Amino acid sequence: MAPTAFPSRDDFAALLNESLGGEDGGFEGRVVKGTVTGVENDMVLIDVGLKSEGRVALREFAMPGMKADIKVGDEVEVYVDRVENAHGEAVLSRDRARREAAWDKLEAEFTENTRVEGVIFGRVKGGFTVDLDGAVAFLPGSQVDIRPVRDVTPLMDIPQPFQILKMDRRRGNIVVSRRAILEETRAEQRTGLIQNLAEGQIIEGVVKNITDYGAFVDLGGIDGLLHVTDLSYKRINHPNEMINIGDVLKVQIIRINRDTQRISLGMKQLESDPWEGAEAKYPVGAKLSGRVTNITEYGAFVELEAGIEGLVHVSEMSWTKKNVHPGKIVSTSQEVEVLVLEVDGDKRRISLGLKQAQSNPWDSFAERHPIGTEVEGEVKNATEFGLFIGLEGDVDGMVHMSDIAWGISGEDALNLHRKGEMVKAIVLDIDIEKERISLGMKQLEKGAPGAGASSSAGSGLNKNQTVTVTVLEVRDGGLEVQAGDDGVTGFIKRGDLGRDRDEQRTERFQPGQKFDALVIGFDRSKKPNFSVKALQIAEEKQAVAQYGSSDSGASLGDILGEALKAKSEA
């Protein structure tokens, strides 16, 4: 009998591999089935057919927040991490086994776009972690609910459906959404509920949310929007002035859009419309009291009664304050008196006047200061064409630059006065409709028309009258003259100093020189205008009429000579 040969190292390795399933069928890195042989404290002993048993933590056999249901003899799947550790035990993992199995199942469900069940069990940055039967998924904060949720605690550790949005097995990433499930369910519910609703229907609902533009009301599984403009006929700045979250409201369905499943609600529609008969209640010309509710760039809104407001346009706010923001004339909640200017019941508009409810300062000024009255005021502004003077009653009058002073140009006259200076003037004209008062300052000067007892009408001067004038001042443009020794002053333009160009030279004249001139008219301030040229032409015509025309054989010079001789003898 041949001696028995002992197995070599290679033979022993081959036998071991054979007992473990061979080189190609090794346990490591695989999910295998095993039998529970014991439960000790928080560990479970499992036999997977290796020479030694493995231990798995008891918590790996339970869903988050739930108790493990495992007993001796149960067959379970585990993942073999290593065949033997330092203690000679198999290293097993139930979580890894569940995860591998879960990934296979989830990939199939993701491809078919079906819902999966999971449990929210933790918080991470930007969202939450969800256990999908072993696989861990990420739930973004925006995908928890349709509307932002402040406290997610009631949703944790509860099995519920999710929708897989994205998954990457190689990287181990899964993103799920709870919101997608809720929106789908809500859409199904809304479709069923909306079929039972109709426009005009009155229904009760609970206020779920309030925004700046309105409130969302739960109508029993479907929400409707109650816009702020449909809360009440009166002005509402914010919905929380009338309602609060949780209030039970009776509302009317105004509109239903079955395509978008949007419902518009109203509360004011259940009240009587205050605009009915508004034209009769607020006739044009009626003087009323109201409260300023809102101020804008273009005017102010005044509440006449709850639900009825009228607009006071900025142009109708003040007689005297022009180009001023309405907020500088009235303030919110101020009680004011207004006059009804126009009513349009169809468009729900009432035009009001604030200044019309007050006395017109232009009328009052005209009554107290008729034309010719002397007034005093402060220079409010100087423009290129005149001065604006502040007068009694908060009205302004204008002195045109030609009416500031005698004997100087309008531009020079404007430079004589500055803003803030107190001046005196005479009222020349008042136009109440155009809100204009024309003033004159030069009319108060000595010898000026309208000063003292002398005036154009009372000085005895008439148009086409020949008078003797005295030169007061010689200018480039003409002569400033005075009629008589103590009469009114007037002006002779350079072109009116004679018929010939040589006679029109102003340097021919000296102050104090006297000569005859013809009154040819009066300016807007009734100051007379004289002309030597017009007098020469008039005398020529008179001579021709007296001594005959040049057709008789006499020359024009002979005729003028005879006329001058006759005048000299006379």
Same-domain check for residues 347 and 366: no
Q: How many helices (H) and strands (E) does the chain have?
A: 8, 30
One domain for residues 419 and 436: yes
Domain boundary among 244, 270, 296: 270
Token pair of 80 as six digits: 């073999």
Q: Residue 87 and residue 92: Cα distance in Å, rounded? A: 13
More confident residue, 496 or 190: 496
Q: Which among 103, 39, 128 has a CA at the least distance from the CA of 76?
A: 39
Q: Which two tokens stand for residue 279?
A: 């034209």
Question: Got the DSSP string for 466-477?
Answer: EEEEEEEEE-SS
Q: What is the pLDDT of residues 466-512, one digit of tens each?
A: 888 888 888 888 888 888 766 678 888 888 898 888 888 888 899 88
Dihedral sign (CA 451, 454, 457, 458) = positive
How many domains in the chain? 6
Model pLDDT for residues 354-385, shown as the tens digit of each residue? 988 888 888 888 888 888 888 999 998 888 88
Decide which of 356, 380, 403 is a domain's last residue: 356
Quick one: what percent of the chain has pLDDT higher than 70? 82
Question: Cα 75 from chain centroid?
Answer: 73
pLDDT at position 558: 57
Q: State whether 418 and 371 are in the same domain.
A: yes
Do both 351 and 394 map to the same domain?
no
Whether 170 and 237 map to the same domain: the answer is no
Task: Tell me, yes or no, whether 516 lies in a domain.
Answer: yes
- Shared domain for 505 and 525, answered yes or no, is yes
Q: Which residue has the higher pLDDT, 22 or 169?
A: 169
Tokens of 122: 């933790």
**Residue 108 placed within a domain:** no
Answer whether residue 180 is part of any domain: no
Q: Which two tokens stand for residue 206?
A: 């609970």
- Look at residue 363 and give its three-state secondary structure: helix
8 A C-beta contact, residue 147 and residue 216: no
**Which residues have C-beta within 8 Å of that of residue 176, sequence separation ≥ 6?**
116, 118, 130, 132, 137, 138, 139, 143, 162, 163, 164, 165
For the chain, what's the residue count?
A: 570
Q: Are residues 472 and 539 in the same domain?
A: yes
pLDDT digits (tens, 9 = 90+) for 192-247: 778 788 888 888 889 989 999 899 998 877 888 999 988 888 888 889 888 999 88
One-letter amino acid for residue 212 of the chain = D
Q: Give the chain's mean pLDDT.
A: 80
The torsion of the CA quartet 58, 62, 66, 70, rounded to 10 degrees, works out to: -70
Domain membership flag for residue 456: no
Q: What is the mean pLDDT of residues 130-138?
A: 86
Q: Does 429 lie in the same domain as 369?
A: yes
Nearest to 405 by CA among 393, 417, 420: 417
Say yes or no: 121 and 66 in one domain.
no
Answer whether residue 104 is part of any domain: no
Asked if the structure places residue 7 within a domain, the reply is no
Same domain for 161 and 217, yes or no, is: no
Checking if the pLDDT of 65 tops 70, the result is no
**Residue 531: inside a domain, yes or no?**
yes
- Domain CATH number, residue 309: 2.40.50.140
Write the single-letter amino acid at 36. Answer: V
Name the residue range of residue 317's domain.
Answer: 283-356
3-state secondary structure of 368: helix
pLDDT at 560 over 70: no
Q: Are residues 335 and 379 in the same domain?
A: no
Are 74 and 33 a contacting pair, CB within 8 Å?
no
Identify whether residues 307 and 351 lie together within a single domain.
yes
DSSP-derived secondary structure letter, 237: S
pLDDT in tens, 516-541: 999 888 765 567 888 999 998 888 88
- 386 lies in a domain? yes
Confidence of residue 160 (pLDDT cuts 50, 70, 90): very high
58 contacts 14 by C-beta, under 8 angstroms: no
